[in-house]
Amino acid sequence: MTYFHRPLTDLPVPLAAIVLLLAGGAALAGETAIDPADNTLNVNPVTTNVSDPNSSEVQTATDIGVSPAAAGEPEVPLADAVAAAAGLAEPMYLLNTRVWPGRSQRLSWSATELFEGVPVSTPVLVVNGTLPGPTLCLTAAVHGDELNGIEMVRRVMHDLAPEKVAGAVIGIPIVNVQGFRRGSRYLPDRRDLNRYFPGSPIGSAAARIAYSFFTEVIAHCSALIDLHTGSFERVNLPQIRADLRNPDVVTLTQGLGSMVVLHSTPTAGTLRHAATLAGIPTVTLEAGGPSQLELNEVKHGVKGIETLINKLGMVKKNRLWGAPEPVYYRSSWVRADNGGILLADVSLGSTVREGDRLGTITDPMNNARTDLRSPFSGRIIGMARNQVVMPGFAAFHVGIQTAEAPSVEDDEADEADMVLSDAPSLSSDYLDGMSE
């Protein structure tokens, strides 16, 4: 099991330089600013396979010419997001609106329009600080039934005082407003919005919404946290999903405080994948389950986000939150082999050993019981709520203890095997539509 325990001086360059420079920079209202540093991401663009039915609708960020920041803003995320070590920030131009430094403002993004031509709009909350700094973006309810992230965004945004902020924070509490109104994960046409980023201006409804959101809002971000929950009656331990091969992404995970980290290569079409390709370091914060507001998970996520804002030097606080949590480089879903009533014997966060019983499945007709046992040693980072299940149902998500991080070659081999193999150690959240 690996922990993030390195001192600030060991953080990846250039983001480590941001934290260290902020600590010694000029102060205004208790805040600091930083000098720019090189922050080029070595991420190879990935295009959609021509055999993919969505290939005409999901382009890469490079294809559509999306830069990490809008005109007049830095071109490189985070490290070059601060223009000087002292002085006032510049106005932010977002959604055809000028947001002055030291102001909080509520804007509106029109995702699409109804059949009668009425625009479908959703709030975009902006806090523009008095000092230069990075622009951190928070997105929630890309899946309309995931409520915890909405409350996280509300609490974080309304707790920020713009006169005490260096940089800017943009919060979009409800991205998929049509799904939210219907209490559904999906758009009205049953498409998953988080499989269409960065979108296309001439594609399906999902592709057009994704394109509009990506070009009009996400392109202004220096870094992004995409908030999610489990799906389909499953719940997740508060955790960060991140591509740990990317140094800038690693630094984001280290700034989020006491949060489990799961190495996860993003699939094409997700907001995390598209934003990272556009040069915007991005992580997914998963916490809880759908269709409910779970205050413990909300508080956990808010603490993590506020700790990151502090670590980036955007707000100065004297107290940081939490000790480092484990990092898992592999995980797997344990699946049911029989149909029946699933009853769990473990809870989220439980540590398990290979062979431990995770739960039982009982046939409601003949009372026959089958044990579900863990094929790995690790920790329960996600699980299904007690319910009726069928064979093949993904019941328990185990973060697997490993001695070291996999290589890039190992990751690529595993991704290929996930499509071709039914081995439990290679089960995929993305293929099952259970994550992000």
Three-class secondary structure assignment of 297-314? HHHHHHHHHHHHHHHCCC
Nearest to 11 by CA among 406, 386, 311, 355: 311
| Calpha distance 23→32 (Å, rounded) | 7
Q: Are 200 and 207 in contact (CB under 8 A)?
A: yes
Q: Is the pLDDT of residue 381 over 60?
A: yes
Cα-Cα-Cα-Cα torsion 113, 118, 122, 124, nearest 10 degrees, comes to 100
> For 297-319, what is the mean pLDDT?
91
Q: What is the pLDDT of residue 401?
A: 84
Residues 60 and 267: their CA atoms lie apart, in Å, by: 12
Q: Which of 2-6, 126-130, 201-205, 287-291 shows the lowest mean pLDDT across its residues?
A: 2-6
Mean pLDDT in residue range 287-313: 96
pLDDT of residue 374: 97
Q: Which residues pair with 283 in a beta bridge?
A: 225
Is 175 within 8 Å of 194 (Cβ atoms)?
A: no
Q: What is residue 368's predicted lDDT score, i.e. its pLDDT?
A: 94
Which of 42-46, 166-170, 406-410 ranks highest by mean pLDDT? 166-170
Do the beta carbons of residue 191 and residue 152 sit within 8 Å? no
Query: Rounded CA gap, 155 and 33, in Å?
Result: 25
Question: Could you tell me the pLDDT band of residue 38, with boundaries at 50, 70 and 90?
Answer: very low
Q: How confident is the model at residue 27 (pLDDT cuts 50, 70, 90)?
A: very low
Residue 84 clears pLDDT 80, i.e. is over it? no
Q: State the chain's mean pLDDT as an integer.
A: 80
- Using alpha carbons, select from 282, 279, 308 the residue that is nearest to residue 80: 279
- pLDDT for the residue 156: 98
Distance CA 17, CA 31 (A): 16
What pLDDT, on a 0 to 100 scale, did the predictor assign at position 13? 40
As a whole number of angstroms, the distance between CA 26 and CA 35 comes to: 11
Architecture per CATH, 330-432: Beta Barrel (2.40)
Residue 429, pLDDT score: 53
pLDDT score recorded for residue 264:
93
Locate all alpha helices (DSSP H) within 324-434, ordered by sequence. Answer: 408-420, 429-432
C-alpha distances (whole Å) from 275 to each of 57, 207, 218 are 16, 15, 7
Question: Is 258 a residue whose pLDDT tops 50?
Answer: yes
Using an 8 Å Cβ cutoff, are 312 and 15 in contact? no
398 has pLDDT over 80: yes
* Per-residue pLDDT at 105 exceeds 70: yes
197-213 exposure pattern, b = at least 16 Cβ within 10 A, e = fewer: bbbbeebbbbbbbbbbb
- CATH 3.40.630.10 domain residues, the chain: 15-311
According to the model, what pLDDT value does residue 419 have? 33
Find residue 388's DSSP bridge partners.
341
Among 169-178, 216-225, 400-409, which is the least confidently predicted range? 400-409
Give the percent of the chain with pLDDT over 90: 65
Categorise residue 181: left if φ over 0, alpha if ψ from -120 to 50, beta otherwise.
alpha
Distance CA 320, CA 311 (A): 9
Asked if residue 418 has pLDDT above 70, the reply is no
Q: Taking a C-beta distance cutoff of 8 angstroms, is the pair 146, 184 a contact?
A: no
- Give start-end residues of each CATH 2.40.50.100 domain in the chain: 330-432
pLDDT value at 153 more than 60 = yes
pLDDT at 337 over 60: yes
Q: What DSSP element (H or E) covers 205?
A: helix 205-216
Is the model's pLDDT at 306 over the cut of 50?
Answer: yes
Residue 383 has pLDDT above 70, yes or no: yes
pLDDT digits (tens, 9 = 90+) for 360-379: 999 999 999 999 999 999 99
- The whole-angstrom separation of Cα 433 and Cα 334 is 16
Q: Which helix (H) or strand (E) holds 412?
A: helix 408-420
User: What local confidence, expressed as pLDDT, does residue 112 receive?
Assistant: 84
Better-scored residue on pLDDT, 293 or 319: 293
State the average pLDDT over residues 93-105. Answer: 96
pLDDT at residue number 66: 53
Give CATH for domain 15-311.
3.40.630.10
Cβ count near 114 (within 10 Å): 10
Amino acid 64: pLDDT? 58
175-186 confidence digits (pLDDT tens): 999 999 999 999
Q: What is the CA radius of gyration of the chain?
A: 21
pLDDT at residue 413 tops 60: no
